[in-house]
């Protein structure tokens, strides 16, 4: 298999929600492994030197952003509902737990479907446990890991490693020597994959 697609996301990010709708299919279509990397977007922005306000704090921008999100959701045929809260830390740590057990795709899909597809409160412990169970994980183990010092430490380490790689936001995808930022860059990503495959086929 060729080099993987590294997918950096944060459950707080609606554009990460949209990106993960298409990315697994793109990866399978081009025989690329999709590796899930949860990050903390506010932390990534600060680490990269971006101290500006969040989108939610800029009224004219959020109005246009919400309309744009709804257009993308309609194009993908998925619901999009703003969640009741934005405390996604334990979900991001839970994604690490899921990745360690080989079910990152299932947990991430389930989590985003609940947070941005149904608008649940991410702080709801029962929702986290149900998502774990739906992904084939032990709900108690994932819950314990996501709140433990080990889980939080591992997540912080993952965020530091992402910053060292140049991750400044999400969704952000690395493939080979290319970087693609945003759900609206997925077509560029797939065009690159097609070009790379054609180059491989043309080699003697």
Which residues are identified as catalytic?
Answer: 13
- Which one, of 144, 134, 47, lies nearest residue 93 by Cα? 144
Burial class (CB in 10 A: 0-12, 13-18, 19+), 189: buried
Q: How far is CA 106 from CA 8, 150, 180, in A?
A: 16, 22, 23
Q: What is the CA radius of gyration of the chain?
A: 17
149 CB burial (10 A radius; 0-12, 13-18, 19+): exposed
Residue pair 94/150 in contact (Cβ under 8 Å)? The answer is no
């Amino acid at each position: 298999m060729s080099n993987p697609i590294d997918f950096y996301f944060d459950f707080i990010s609606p554009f990460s929600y949209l990106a993960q709708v298409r990315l697994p299919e793109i990866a399978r279509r081009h025989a690329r492994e999709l590796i899930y990397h949860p990050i903390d977007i506010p932390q990534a922005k600060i680490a990269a030197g971006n101290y500006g306000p969040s989108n939610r704090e800029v009224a004219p921008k959020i109005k246009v952003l919400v309309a744009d999100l709804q257009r993308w959701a309609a194009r993908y045929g998925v619901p999009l509902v703003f969640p009741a809260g934005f405390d996604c830390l334990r979900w991001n740590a839970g994604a690490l737990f899921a990745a360690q057990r080989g079910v990152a795709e299932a947990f991430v899909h389930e989590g985003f479907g609940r947070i941005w597809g149904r608008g649940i409160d991410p702080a709801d412990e029962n929702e986290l446990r149900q998502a774990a169970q739906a992904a084939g994980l032990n709900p108690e183990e994932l819950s314990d890991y996501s709140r433990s010092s080990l889980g939080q430490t591992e997540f912080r380490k993952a965020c530091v490693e992402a910053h060292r790689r140049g991750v400044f936001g999400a969704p952000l995808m690395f493939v080979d020597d290319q970087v693609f930022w945003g759900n609206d860059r997925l077509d560029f990503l797939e065009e690159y994959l097609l070009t790379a495959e054609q180059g491989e086929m043309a080699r003697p």
